[in-house]
Amino acid sequence: MKILYIGAKSGTSLQRAEATRRLGHDVLHISPEEFLPNRWPLWLNRQGGFGIDHLVSRVLKREIGNREFDLAHVNSGEVIGRKSVAVLGRTAPVLSHYTSDNPYALPTTERKRWNLFLQVLDQYDLTASTHRDGSDQNMRNKGARNPFSVAPCADEVVHRPFDTILEQHWLSEVAFVGTWMPGREFFLETLIDAGIELSIYGPRWTKAVNHAKLKPYLRGNYLEGRDYTAAIAGAKIALVLLNEKNFDTYTKRSIEIPAIGTAMCAARTRTHEALYTEDQEAVFFDTAEDCVDRCKALLADPRSLAALAQAGQARAQANGFFNENLMAEIIDRAMDARI
């Protein structure tokens, strides 16, 4: 099948595009963001991106040319408005969309980011999103014709375990890989004060009010590809912290960490408890102090730690939440929806 894939050529967007190729499809991958002014995210978030759709539609016309496709798939889609969707509709009879974000029930400060997308939501034959409580109904309320909620996915290639010994600088006791958000700094400070040997990777941590306290534990900024995997694989325990403002009950790390083969210590939610057997395939915490106790207990018992990591990895494989399965289902459902 000939597929036009619209999305960033980095991060999980790139991973899903490559997974689509591995399924045997002929994929043209276009990233409109590459052609926008440097400060386009600020323009979009604060002003709603007036004029962005016009620029993106011109990019799509130029990059697509006269080519035709069986399906046009849009990842994220915050820069795709009415003009751009019209271009996609002329080149492919079926349009599908996926985002792991939550444009259907967002904090006020982020609503403008999704203005363009929500204007054309009803133009997609299939709209897929990471599952949250009430997500399908929220998508319908915003205009989605065929909403489809799915679990976040790990990648078969990027998140495969390493078969060689990692370099020393990747090794750590407990790691958190993620972006700074208000409140996370105090959670991690509790771990540090309790004597946990912590490694923190991710962007925006200079914004933390206790940055001076965290600075000795900051090991790297944004990580991509196998570097991201190495930061998790090199840790004895990797943490999952949630974005409650986004109504998350799990994240992609909830799938990636066990798939990589590292023991996972995650915030307790019904979703986590459904995905993994507690104390056998993962451990869960209710508070920062509880997280400290669980990490210390595992670090003091290497045999149990190894068994937890191994069982978690086996469960992740059995659950099957991987990009190739995700993209195959999106493509099949989108084509069926159009019939």
Q: What tens digit of pLDDT does each residue of 258-310 get?
A: 999 999 999 999 999 999 999 999 999 999 999 999 999 999 999 999 999 99
| Helix or strand holding residue 173 (H, E) | strand 172-177
Where in the chain do CATH 3.40.50.2000 domains reside? 2-153+322-338, 168-319
% of residues, the chain, pLDDT over 70: 98
214, 193 contact by CB (below 8 A): no
**Residues in contact with 157: Cβ distance below 8 Å, sequence separation at least 6, in sequence order:** 15, 18, 22
Q: What distance in Å separates the CA atoms of residue 27 and residue 98, rounded to the nearest whole number? A: 16
Q: What distance in Å separates the CA atoms of residue 264 and residue 254, rounded to the nearest whole number? A: 8
Closest CA to 263 of 286, 289, 242, 234: 234
Rounded-to-10 torsion of CA 84, 129, 158, 10? 30
208 pLDDT more than 60:
yes
77-94 CB burial, b ≥16 within 10 A, e <16: bbbbbebbbebbeebbeb
pLDDT at site 296: 98
Question: Domain 168-319 sits in which CATH superfamily?
Answer: Glycogen Phosphorylase B; (3.40.50.2000)
**Which of the four pLDDT bands, split at 50, 70 and 90, describes residue 107?**
low
Q: What distance in Å separates the CA atoms of residue 47 and residue 105, rounded to the nearest whole number? A: 19
CA–chain centroid gap for 94, Å, is 24
Residue 323 is encoded by which pair of tokens? 């990009």
The stretch 123-144 carries a mean pLDDT of 92
**Cα–Cα–Cα angle for 309, 312, 314, nearest 5°?**
110
pLDDT at site 36: 94
**Which of the four pLDDT bands, split at 50, 70 and 90, describes residue 106?**
low
pLDDT at site 59: 97
Q: What distance in Å separates the CA atoms of residue 222 and residue 187, rounded to the nearest whole number? A: 20
The stretch 175-189 carries a mean pLDDT of 96
Between 218 and 38, name the one with better pLDDT: 218
Closest CA to 96 of 17, 15, 6: 6
108 pLDDT more than 70:
no
63 pLDDT more than 70:
yes
254 pLDDT more than 90:
yes
Q: Which fold has domain 2-153+322-338?
A: Rossmann fold (3.40.50)
Q: What distance in Å separates the CA atoms of residue 339 and residue 337, rounded to the nearest whole number? A: 6
Residue 242 is encoded by which pair of tokens? 């949630």
The stretch 47-56 carries a mean pLDDT of 91
336, 92 contact by CB (below 8 A): no
Sheet of 198-201, strand order: 218-220, 198-201, 172-177, 235-240, 263-267, 283-285
